[in-house]
């Protein structure tokens, strides 16, 4: 492998921090690897429009949460792979993942042909 591991490791750590901060805007941590989308505050409001809005907010929080959660898990797995020396290897064909792909998405698990 000829990629600069330290550079990727730094990028992964920065990205992990960013994602962990971002997810707290829409969710609360429920365990080490799971987050629960935030409910909006006034659940008992009588205003039907507000109820509809708060359901919409919750649904959008939930969808953002699951995307971010997946990315966080990818990044953590990538950091584990760096430790075990197999970072940047496609999980499908075991080929090296294209460097541009790792730069665009450091948590990538597969090469471009197996996305
Ligand atoms: Zn592949």
Domain boundaries, the chain: 5-86
Which residues, including other chains, have CB under 8 Å from residue 3's CB and lie 6 or more apart? 88, 96, 99, 102
Quickly list H helices, 1-115.
5-26, 48-84, 99-104
CA of 56 to the centre of ligand 1 (A): 38
Q: How far is the CA of 4 from the centre of ligand 1 (A)?
A: 20
Cα of 84 from ligand 1 centre, angstroms: 19
Residue 27 Cα to ligand 1 midpoint, Å, equals 33
CA of 87 to the centre of ligand 1 (A): 13
Instruction: Answer whether 36's CB lies under 8 Å from 28's CB.
Output: yes
Q: What is the mean pLDDT of each run of 10 residues along the chain (115 residues)?
A: 80 96 96 89 72 91 96 96 94 95 93 96
The answer, as to whether pTM is greater than 0.85, is no
């Amino acid at each position: 492998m000829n990629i600069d591991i330290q550079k990727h490791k730094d990028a992964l750590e920065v990205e992990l921090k960013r994602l962990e901060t971002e997810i707290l805007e829409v969710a609360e941590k429920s365990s080490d690897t799971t987050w629960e989308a935030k409910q909006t505050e006034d659940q008992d409001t009588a205003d039907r429009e507000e109820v509809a809005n708060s359901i919409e907010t919750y649904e959008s929080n939930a969808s953002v949460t699951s995307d971010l959660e997946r990315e966080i898990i990818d990044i953590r797995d990538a950091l584990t792979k760096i430790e075990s020396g197999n970072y940047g290897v496609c999980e499908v064909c075991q080929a090296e993942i294209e460097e541009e792909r790792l730069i665009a998405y450091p948590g990538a698990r597969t090469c471009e042909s197996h996305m």
